[in-house]
A and B are shown apart, each in its own frame.
Chain A
């Protein structure tokens, strides 16, 4: 988008070339949702003025004494401003940050601002995006079910209702929330000017009041709301300058936290209804396999078990509670086929990927300059290294749980998913009913990290099928074992990196990588080199490769930033200085790198038996550099003792929350690098629970993470994901500095397994 002449309007990018072979429904949608947005005043104006959208939104969120402004917010007569978030909040804190952006432009009193989840209705969706990108983002099946008329009349600056791609703040917040706040503020001023009979220019706003200084009169937003709601809203309102912000940039406490410390927050798994039953499920151990037979009797003999339901690839036991259902399921001995995938194993996948890369026929290529020429140039020193990373489980702490009730041809589903609209479409398809007959009630979620995108969530289909077979509401809960063995994993991936050095500088670099998705366009290559080549070799196993927090930036970051250290070593250079000289002079990247080096005391003496590593990765328009210091425990396993992160995300809306996101991302990255791996044997997942899929615990996490933001004012970047990718290469680089041993296969603790 560098050549876009109007920085206020993002132009749609051409659809990225798809990976081949491509699994149906598995798309690189986080990337597309994040990068391909059509916004701007013109489109926004269409949305403002569409009377049918206004009427629908008003019917859904308006009400006695509450006046709706588009589908974004209401103002009540008591001055309460309620923001309706199209994004769900599964811990990333975007609800509070979005409300800050709206309230700042609106000049609303912060303690009178409430936050609610927008209903799962097309009135809250983004028609402009839908038109162009819905097939790519939700799968063709969803696109076909939404009438053109609906798509055509909507135009809203947010990616449908998807939450992902670190997109809430940088797109929805920057465009919809700030603009709505400013436009509604202008309408309130216009209304007050008419009422008071004074020019608009003599009016000022603050704390949900419009004040006329000359006369000393003021009107509350609640008094003006009805009149203002009847006015047409500007599609191009004047936004505040950075200097005028009061709420944006401040660390206001998150609104959801009190309910999360006293047990009162109701997650999807906590939902109950009168007469509700609980079900649990065992799917074919080999993904792609089917249920061949099962004797239901042993389950039905368990007290509290009411029904056994056979699905094409799974068996479900319904009982009075989770425990009877679990006991019933454990009593069964279902026979599953392996779907022809019985030979798939982790070593076989690595071998196949190596063979693909050795074959040299890439599915996608990008880069510039003459790499091969530079490699063969006289005096060039060639360095090569191969890296491998395993499948990773998302390990959201709340296992999947959806409640469904099928009654009179209509299906209602309660639970937490990343895109309420395509949840409805998927459930409708599974149930064989019209999408208008499906209601989805979004609930808060115990984590997600990319796992809850509807098209990779089989429990949507499962609850639709199960609810249709019982006369009562039913909550289907996945066990942790089901979660671990039937994930939509971060792809297992292999890479071969090669580069030529001359005079201490890189003259060319080639990155070959084999995995399902092409990362080009998603993960930027940040170094300025005379020649580069990035080649993607498409490989798909029997697993579902899903988006995992920060998506392809995890493995690409690990490959590139580990290799940069190897090159620095080969060039006899300091890893920080070596990176620095290959970044554009004066660039944002260089400033971020310099700052982290400064804060971490790069080059200063370390305590004995401690190693220090650095890495820098850009993802979701945010640049993050991290330094970690690692020591070895008595058993030889590493512990990160100090960690530093410097972040340039343009603007930090809520520094208190952004700091938590970056620190959390860094720790999740360390966790994955340290011990996490999903491996396959005979087509089935070997691990089953946290006993053999270890998540980093408090004692092994850095006691504190020093997080620092450089508010460069550049285009606002994401914050939920970018803290993760630099962590694993920084750890590997620190370990190499400490032990002299380069770790090229993750995870660190179980390399033998790979």
Chain B
């Protein structure tokens, strides 16, 4: 069956079973491979996207539930004229990624957090940023989030 929704502002229609996870529609059907497969059980967050503005682990959301909704992926964070989102820019400035595989999901989680609370505290970052990074980039993730929200000056230390 064809399921219609929008991705990064553009209407799309995917011919797939309603139980197909959104992740695989994005990757295999729409060719948007910036959203990653890590675990398939919503444990790692590598597949994080926004659905109607809400942070969502796309490996565990059936396509049927996405019908008619607006999906934003990592590819959709830049502005129309190609300017990086401030969180992406902060990620480059802080040189966060190592292998980089989890970073799409980390960035989507960070953007959702900032959109929700504005300037997150350390405790809010702890609570919200639950994506797994095997390379251990967490200190720089924290630093980049604080920098993106202008809170970097308050942060001691570096890593």
The proximity string for A residues 233-262 relative to B, scoring 1 for CB distances below 8 Å and 0 otherwise, is 000000000000000000001101111111
Q: Is A386 part of the binding interface, using a Cβ–Cβ cutoff of 8 Å?
A: no
Q: A-facing mask of B25-64, CB < 8 A → 1, else 0?
A: 0011101111111111101101000000000000000000
Tell whether, in the assembled complex, residue A260 and residue B139 are in contact, meaning their CB atoms are under 8 Å apart: no
Q: Which residue of A lies closest to B43 (CB)?
A: A690
> Contact check: which of A263, A269, A665, A703 meets B136 at CB < 8 Å?
A665
Do residues A447 and B135 form an inter-chain contact, with CB atoms below 8 A? yes
Instruction: Write the nearest CB–CB distance from A112 to chain B, whole angstroms.
Output: 20
Report B's interface with A, CB cutoff 8 A: 16-17, 20-21, 24, 27-29, 31-41, 43-44, 46, 73-75, 77-78, 84, 88, 91-92, 95-104, 107, 122, 125-127, 129-143, 155-159
Instruction: Flag whether A139 is at the interface (Cβ < 8 A).
Output: no
In this complex, the member of A259, A264, A668, A703 whose beta carbon has the largest number of chain B beta carbons within 10 angstroms is A703
Closest 6 CB pairs of A and B: A263-B34, A446-B101, A91-B99, A260-B100, A667-B136, A704-B157
List 20 extra interface pairs beyond A267-B36, A656-B95, CB under 8 A: A91-B99, A253-B92, A257-B100, A261-B92, A263-B33, A263-B74, A269-B37, A446-B99, A446-B101, A447-B135, A659-B158, A660-B95, A663-B159, A664-B135, A664-B136, A671-B136, A697-B132, A703-B142, A704-B155, A706-B159
Contacts of B33 in A (CB 8 A): 263, 266-267, 269-270, 272
Please, how many angstroms separate the alpha-carbon atoms of A261 and B94 in the complex?
A: 12
| Interface stretch of the complex, out of A15-23, A69-77, A391-399 | A391-399
List 13 A–B pairs whose Cβ atoms lie within 8 Å, in order of A's numbering. A261-B97, A265-B100, A321-B29, A397-B133, A446-B99, A477-B37, A663-B136, A663-B159, A689-B40, A695-B132, A698-B133, A699-B129, A702-B139
State how many angstroms separate the Cβ of A658 from the closest Cβ of chain B.
Answer: 12
Kindly identify which residue among A270, A480, A665 contacts B39, using a CB–CB cutoff of 8 Å: A480
Least CB distance from B125 to A in Å reads 7
With A261-B92, A397-B132 as known contacts, state yes or no: A92 contacts B98, CB within 8 Å.
Answer: yes
Q: Note all chain B residues with C-beta closer than 8 A to A479.
A: 40
Residues 459-484 of A, flagged 1 when their CB comes within 8 A of B and 0 if not, give: 00000000000000000010111000
CB distance from B39 to the nearest CB of A (A): 4
Q: Which residues does chain B contribute within 8 Å of A269, judged by CB atoms? A: 33, 36-37
A 379-431 contacts with B by CB, 8 A: 395-399
Residues of B within 8 A of A660 (CB): 95, 98, 137, 140, 159
Quick one: which of A657-709 are within 8 Å of B by CB? 657, 659-661, 663-668, 671, 689-691, 695-699, 701-707
Contact with B along A278-290 (1 / 0, CB 8 A): 1000000000000
Asked whether A263 lies within 8 Å of B73 as measured between CB atoms, the reply is yes
* Given known A262-B84, A264-B34, A398-B101, contact A668–B137 (CB-CB < 8 A): no
Residues in A with CB closer than 8 Å to B134 are 395-397, 447, 449, 668, 695
* A698 and B141 within 8 A (CB): yes
Q: Is the interface of B mostly helix, strand, loop or mixed?
A: loop
Chain B: which residue is nearest A446 at the CB level? B101
Least Cβ–Cβ distance between A343 and chain B, in angstroms: 30
Q: Is A303 an interface residue (CB 8 A)?
A: yes
CA of A198 to CA of B78 in the docked complex: distance in angstroms? Answer: 53
Closest chain B residue to A401, Cβ basis: B37
Given A323-B24, A397-B38, A399-B38 in contact, is the A445-B132 Cβ separation under 8 Å? no
Interface footprint category on A = 35 or more
Q: Please indicate the chain B residues that have their CB under 8 angstroms from the CB of A656 in the complex.
A: 95
Residue numbers in A under 8 Å from B102 (CB-CB) = 397, 446
Are A91 and B29 in touch, CB under 8 angstroms?
Answer: no
Is A489 in contact with chain B by the CB < 8 A criterion? no
Interface contact A278-B28, CB-CB below 8 Å: yes
Contact among A90, A399, A445, A699 with B127 in the assembled complex (CB-CB below 8 Å): A699
Cβ-defined contact, A262 with B75, below 8 A: yes
- Chain A residue at minimal CB-CB distance from B97: A260
Report whether B130 and A699 are in contact in the complex, using a CB–CB cutoff of 8 Å.
yes
The answer to whether A613 has its CB under 8 Å from any CB of chain B is: no
> How many whole Å from A723's CB to the nearest CB in chain B?
9
**For the complex, is A322 an interface residue (Cβ under 8 Å from B)?**
yes
Q: Could you tell me the distance between the alpha carbons of A259 and B136 in the complex, rounded to whole angstroms? A: 19
Q: A399-B37, A659-B159 known; A261 and B135 CB under 8 Å?
A: no
B35 close to A690 (CB less than 8 A): no
Instruction: Report the nearest A residue to B75, measured CB to CB.
Output: A263
Contact yes or no, A261 B88, CB < 8 A: yes
Q: Distance (Å) between the CB of B32 and the closest chain A CB?
A: 8
For residue A93, CB closer than 8 A to chain B, the reply is: yes
Q: Interface digits, A435-461 against B, CB 8 Å rule (1 contact, 0 not)?
A: 000000000111111000000000000
- Please, which residue of chain B has its CB at the minimum distance from the CB of A720? B98
Tell me, rounded to whole Å, the shortest Cβ–Cβ distance linking A752 to chain B. Answer: 23
Bound CA span A448–B134, Å: 10
Interface residues of A in 586-645 (CB under 8 A from B): none
Q: In the complex, which residues of chain A have a beta carbon less than 8 angstroms from the beta carbon of B137?
A: 660, 664
- Check A690–B136 contact: CB distance below 8 A: no
Q: Are B84 and A261 in contact (CB under 8 A)?
A: yes
Cβ–Cβ contact B107 & A666, under 8 A: no
